[in-house]
Amino acid sequence: MPGRRPLEPGDPERIGDHLLIGVLGEGGQGIVYRARTPTGTPVAIKVLHARTAADPGAGRRLLREAEIARRIAPFCTARVLDMGVFRGRPYIVSEYIPGIALDALVARDGPRAGSGLHRLAVATLTSLAAIHRAGVVHHDVKPGNVILGPEGPVVIDFGISRVLEQVSTRSGPVGTPAYMAPERFERRPAGPAADVFGWAATMVFAATGHPAFRGPSLPAVMHAIVVGEPDLDGVAEELRPLLAACLDKRPGERPGAAVVLRHLTHDYRPGLSVLPGLVPGGSVGVSVPVGSVSGVTSGRRRRVLLGGLIALAAAGVGVAVPSWLSGPDGTHLAAPDPTESTTSAGSALGRPLTGHGAAVTSVALGVLGGEAVAVSGGSDGTVRVWDLAAGRQIGRSLTGHFDTVWSVALGVLGGEAVAVSGGSDGTVRVWDLAAGRQVGASLTGQGDAVWSVALGQADGEAIVVSVGYDGTVWMRDLMTRKQIGTSLTGRLDTVTSVALGELGGEAVAVSGGSDGTVRVWDLVRGRQLGRPLTGHSGAVTSVALGRVDGEVVAVSGGSDGTLRLWKLGLPGPPPSPR
């Protein structure tokens, strides 16, 4: 955005009760005014341009973002004070932060170093962690959006870029290219991990005076971000491993903001080892660019992100298919003959973990506080967290279910690692793993039991999809606890399991049922896509979504002792395993 200027003819004198003083900045999508309240308090007013506001959903989205922004801790971002519509253009009134932007400071005084750089990194990351903890994503973390005010660094302009990106679909993603994560150029879903990438690129700039990715042109910069390595020359040795991990091309391999902050504040030392992989905050965009399932028409896209603690197959890791897994047409896989192998595929690590005192019915893997953990549910009605390295239970058992916990899933809510469980008492419960307690009220309404749960994000919001005893599949907003759309039902038999993903640009769920079928569901329209996939001779007990050799697939396991692979998105009738 260009710099400050006085008001000019055509600028309004007032917006609401606020007297305008001047312009703080403006760009292609909106303008930011400096103003005063009736009591004389300085404020900043952000107004969308008329052409941007013409989008029927832009105003609603902007005001909703402003409402969510009020959840963010006020110490680390400009507080939202008011919102409204002026001459058909939505606006947000926020706290005015006097100071200088980081890009201007580096241009004036040179790169930051030593304890000053460390304080800047901790302060900005604290802001980012608080933003994610509120369940939202900034989408435009860059030096120009870091203001060094009299009380320390503050991250500003939260929320607006997400609205603008949804409006500006023709011109590409909104943001500053040098600080945008590669998934945004590739039109893949961008979650909190994209903010972590932008933060790391901002810290590289602060430490060196140049972007982490450079090029003579915009396409060259974009190419460098997508395929090149970051230029970390000039970055202090103790920060390099951390920033390099945050700049990983793969969103799921980046540590979350809370994890990075923990390293900065507790483990800030040379040779810091950053544990990559499935960490809180690192939501993985599952983008599966294939054609639609037969009979599906294109429509409004609803992006789905699977939680950061998910299987690698769902993250789009390329998998070569062994010959025993695929049939002649590559459409299914069957279990191999166990007599064909005489050697073990692995060996036990450590001693068995005990404590449930009854059957363990569900497990999930992830990382908590930088340590590999397992979360288990059992027929004793408890959810337990296990430190895999130490071989012991972490904290007390999580209690609340009245009967068997049939399913557990791990993910991220507001930047914190959470588990979601479904049980025989018909409830879905959300657990804060670090605090060791249930978050909010239990979700009910699907009959006497919940068989399966899955976590993800849709349109940037955390969601849980659950399968009930009544045979329905529900999708609910984890923040509001409200059901999204109508329940899905196959009208044939009980649904036993569910997995989330994206197919042909549409958010989908894949379910398995006790009628032996696998079904694909359009989560936006609340309807089944195509005909059921048949082939199992017994109940389908588990399903998963991923990619094999670049193809979008569902994998199903059944009580008939087989594992079957389904290629989704084929034209014509759904394939039937042979």
Q: What is the DSSP string of 275-302?
A: --SS-TT--EE-----PPPTTPPP----
Residue 347 CB burial class (10 angstroms; 0-12, 13-18, ≥19): exposed
Residues 255 and 158 in one domain: yes
User: Is 194 in a helix, a strand, or coil?
Assistant: helix
Same domain for 331 and 364, yes or no, is yes
Domain finish residue from 234, 258, 276: 276
Rounded CA gap, 476 and 478, in Å? 6
Query: What pLDDT is stored for residue 40 in this prediction?
Result: 93
Q: Is 66 exposed, middle or buried (0-12, 13-18, 19+ CB in 10 A)?
A: buried
290 part of a folded domain: no
pLDDT (0 to 100) of residue 67:
64
Same-domain check for residues 506 and 396: yes
The DSSP 8-state label assigned to residue 483 in this structure reads B
Residue 556 lies in a domain: yes
Mean pLDDT by 10 residues, the chain (578 residues): 74 93 78 92 86 61 63 70 84 88 93 92 88 74 89 74 40 69 82 90 97 93 94 91 90 80 63 30 29 31 35 28 32 40 57 83 79 86 88 90 89 78 91 86 83 76 80 79 71 70 75 86 77 87 75 81 78 44
Whether 486 and 446 share a structural domain: yes
Query: How many Cβ atoms are within 10 Å of 184's Cβ, its own excluded?
Result: 24
Answer yes or no: is 447 within a domain.
Answer: yes
Tell me, what's the pLDDT at 8?
87
> Is the domain of 106 the same as that of 133?
yes
Residue 576 forms part of a structural domain: no
Q: Which two tokens stand for residue 10?
A: 């055509």
Same domain (yes/no): 221, 319: no
| Tokens 């519509």 belong to residue | 85
DSSP H/E element including 63: helix 58-69
Same domain? For 387 and 514 the reply is yes
pLDDT of residue 235: 94
Same domain, 54 and 86: yes
Domain annotation covers residue 575: no
Inside any domain, residue 282: no
CA angle 175, 19, 77 (to 5 degrees): 40
Asked whether 212 and 232 are in contact (CB, 8 A), the reply is yes
Contact 255, 415 (CB under 8 A): no
Q: Give me the residue label for tokens 């002026």.
A: 86
Look up the domain containing 86 and give its range: 5-95
State whether 314 and 242 are in the same domain: no
Task: Dig out the tokens for 254 from the structure.
Answer: 């980046």
Of 42, 61, 95, the residue at which a domain comes to its end is: 95
198 near 260, Cβ under 8 Å?
A: no
Rounded CA-CA distance 508/459 in Å is 13
Q: Which helix (H) or strand (E) holds 418?
A: strand 416-423
Task: Give residue 266's identity as a one-letter amino acid code.
Answer: H
Same domain (yes/no): 195, 308: no
Report the domain count for the chain.
Answer: 3
309 and 218 within one domain: no
> Which residue bears the tokens 């989908």?
508
Q: How far apart are CA 496 and CA 513, in angstroms?
A: 5
Residue at 43 is within a domain: yes
Please list, in sequence order, all residues whose beta carbon lies within 8 angstroms of the beta carbon of residue 420, skipping any fewer than 6 positions away: 408, 409, 410, 411, 428, 429, 430, 431, 453, 455, 464
Structure tokens that stand for 340 in this block: 């064909």
Helix or strand run (H / E) with residue 60: helix 58-69
Cα gap 405→378, rounded to integer Å: 5
CATH code of the domain covering residue 496: 2.130.10.10
pLDDT of residue 573: 44
- In terms of domains, do 72 and 120 share one? no
CA 504 – CA 569 distance, rounded (Å): 7
User: What CATH number does residue 134 fall under?
Assistant: 1.10.510.10
CATH code: domain of residue 69: 3.30.200.20
CA distance 62 to 530: 36
Give start and end residues of each alpha helix (H) in 362-454: none
State both tokens at 371: 């340590």
Q: Is residue 574 part of a domain?
A: no
Segments in 70-157 forming alpha helices (H): 102-109, 114-133
**Cα–Cα distance, 423 to 514 (Å, whole number):** 17
